[in-house]
């Protein structure tokens, strides 16, 4: 899967969790760009990404996750 | 070798209710409703200024001992599990030993543990029964985190309540008692539940008193309890089902053998996810957080106590209790209730200074 494919799958997850159906997700997208992306949303995004990509995101990454790129880098 | 059995349990929560309306005025309706939707917590019980976790623990224990007519001199072990004791020195066990008028033959000490405290305290007591050091133990799990949470930290204020639970352990007869334990630690996460300026490593100062707002508007200082909610949530969702399955295998039982599965009440969504992963059917689940909040170290025993009060714990029931939190740590205990059952203590669960 290419990085662009992964970003596209993440976009579906972010749109669903943040309830922003028109969101155009970029690697730079961060918590600073979206007040709805709070700690609760982070957990929901991570859990959905883990299920979609069959991967376990390390606790350290989850603790400090602020930007799409940080999650994208970990996806297989 | 003696084994311990739970023969009475009673909990106590403050009467002051921290309502949704109060929090909406403080944090905004949208924020509060969003958290409540996930947490399932709509009201928290918190202590009034001047009331401490020790006061709550005293009330719970006093009512339990009076309700069961337990002579004070028969208590030979007192364990107080708290992270919000009256003093750094001495342990709160000594304060409560005096207030409860226990005998000089009674062993007393504190257990510095957070949300997983109950199974740890039960294991300590079990060890002392097995070693012949105790035959009648009183465990008090009590915490009043409201005093160490910054009032503008919505991630913690919205979730936490204060409470205490007193549990009586006596020598097991027949099949009843504490049948097995399972514990573990992931210390890589200790920083994610921490009160930084609370000991020798970071002495309190002008600097530690400064309140700082993070990018989401949560305010706290180094002298306030801090939680990285997303790390803890992620840890619990994955780790608790994993270690619970390990424990079931170790104990040689399955979910089908259990009558009740008690979980630390961190938030409702998390508990539901854990129950789902474990395949625990609705009739074996129990929730006690909606109107009291997450009671920290008192949470898991309070669930058991409330289940007893509601008649959900039948004589001979097999109960699995799992608790997790600060450390990060987890503890599980398999409990067989006696054939005589666990009758609830008639006294109120509302705290009043005069018990």
pLDDT, one tens digit per residue, over B102-129 is 999 999 999 999 999 999 999 999 999 9
Alpha carbons B253 and B237: distance in angstroms, whole number: 22
Give A62's contacts in chain B (Cβ within 8 Å): 230-231, 234
Give A10-19 pLDDT, tens digit per residue.
999 999 999 9
Q: In this structure, are residues B333 and B271 in contact, taking their beta carbons and an 8 Å threshold? A: no
Q: Is B230's CB within 8 Å of A63's CB?
A: yes
Query: What mean pLDDT, rounded, does chain B reach?
Result: 95
- Which residue of chain A comes nearest to B30, CA vs CA? A36
**Shortest Cα distance, chain A CAs vs residue B121, angstroms:** 28
pLDDT at residue B135 in the model? 97
ipTM of the complex: 0.88
For A32, the closest of B34, B215, B229 (CB atoms) is B215
Domain extent for B243? 1-355
Number of separate domains in chain A: 1
| Cβ atoms B6, B169 nearer than 8 A | yes
Q: Among B192, B230, B235, select the one facing A42 at the smallest CB separation.
A: B230
User: Which CATH number belongs to the domain containing residue B136 in this structure?
Assistant: 3.40.47.10
**pLDDT class of B218 with cuts at 50, 70, 90:** confident
| CB crowding A52-65: b at 16 or more within 10 Å, else e | ebeeebebeebbeb
CATH no. for residue A36?
1.10.1200.10
Range of the domain at A31: 3-72
Q: What is the pLDDT of residues B143-188, one digit of tens each?
A: 999 999 999 999 899 999 999 999 999 999 989 999 999 999 999 9
Q: Which residues in chain A (55-74) have CB-CB distances under 8 A to chain B? A: 56-57, 59-60, 62-63, 65
Whether B140 shows a pLDDT value over 80: the answer reads: yes
State the burial class of residue A20 (Cβ atoms within 10 Å of its Cβ: 0-12, 13-18, 19+).
middle
With beta carbons under 8 A apart, name residues in chain A contacting B38: 40
Identify all chain A residues contacting B186, using CB atoms and an 8 Å cutoff: 59
The residue-averaged pLDDT of B62-88 equals 97
Please count the structural domains in chain B: 1
Is the pLDDT at B30 greater than 90? The verdict is no
Which member of A47, A56, A62 has the closest CB to residue B231? A62
Structure tokens that stand for B250 in this block: 């170790």
Tokens at B94, concatenated: 């000594």
Could you tell me what percent of chain B has a pLDDT over 70?
A: 100
Which chain A residues have a beta carbon less than 8 Å from that of B228?
39, 63
């Amino acid at each position: 899967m290419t990085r662009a494919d992964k970003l596209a799958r993440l976009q579906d997850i972010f749109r669903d969790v943040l309830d922003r159906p028109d969101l155009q997700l970029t690697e730079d997208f961060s918590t600073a760009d979206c007040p709805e992306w709070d700690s609760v949303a982070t957990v929901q995004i991570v859990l959905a990404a883990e299920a979609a990509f069959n991967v376990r995101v390390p606790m350290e990454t989850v603790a400090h996750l602020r930007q799409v790129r940080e999650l994208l880098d970990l996806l297989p | 070798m003696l084994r311990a059995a739970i023969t009475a349990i009673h909990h106590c929560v403050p009467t002051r209710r921290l309502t949704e309306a109060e929090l909406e005025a403080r944090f905004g309706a949208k924020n509060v409703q969003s958290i409540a939707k996930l947490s399932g917590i709509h009201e928290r019980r918190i202590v009034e200024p001047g009331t401490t976790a020790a006061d709550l623990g005293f009330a719970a224990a006093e009512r339990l001992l009076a309700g069961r007519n337990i002579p004070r001199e028969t208590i030979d072990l007192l364990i107080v599990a708290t992270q919000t004791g009256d003093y750094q020195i001495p342990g709160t066990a000594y304060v409560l030993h005096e207030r409860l008028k226990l005998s000089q033959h009674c062993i007393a000490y504190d257990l510095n543990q957070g949300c997983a405290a109950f199974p740890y305290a039960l294991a300590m007591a079990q060890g002392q029964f097995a070693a012949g050091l105790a035959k009648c133990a009183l465990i008090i799990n009590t915490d009043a985190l409201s005093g160490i949470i910054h009032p503008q930290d919505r991630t913690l204020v919205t979730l936490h309540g204060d409470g205490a639970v007193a549990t009586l352990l006596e020598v097991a007869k027949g099949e009843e008692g504490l049948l097995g334990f399972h514990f573990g630690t992931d210390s890589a996460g200790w920083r994610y539940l921490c009160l930084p300026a609370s000991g020798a490593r970071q002495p309190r100062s002008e600097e530690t008193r400064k309140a700082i707002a993070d990018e989401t508007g949560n305010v706290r200082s180094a002298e306030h309890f801090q939680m990285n909610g997303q790390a803890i949530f992620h840890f619990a969702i994955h780790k608790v089902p994993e270690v619970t399955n390990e424990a079931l295998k170790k104990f040689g039982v399955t979910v089908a053998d259990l009558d009740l599965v008690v979980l630390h009440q961190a938030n409702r969504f998390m508990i539901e996810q854990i129950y789902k992963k474990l395949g625990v059917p609705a009739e074996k689940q129990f929730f006690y957080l909606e109107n009291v909040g997450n009671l920290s170290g008192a949470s898991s025993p309070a669930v058991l106590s409330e289940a007893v009060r509601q008649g959900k714990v039948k004589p001979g029931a097999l109960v699995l209790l799992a608790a997790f939190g600060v450390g990060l740590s987890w503890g599980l205990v398999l409990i067989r209730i006696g054939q005589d059952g666990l009758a609830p203590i008639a006294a109120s669960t509302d705290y009043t200074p005069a018990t």
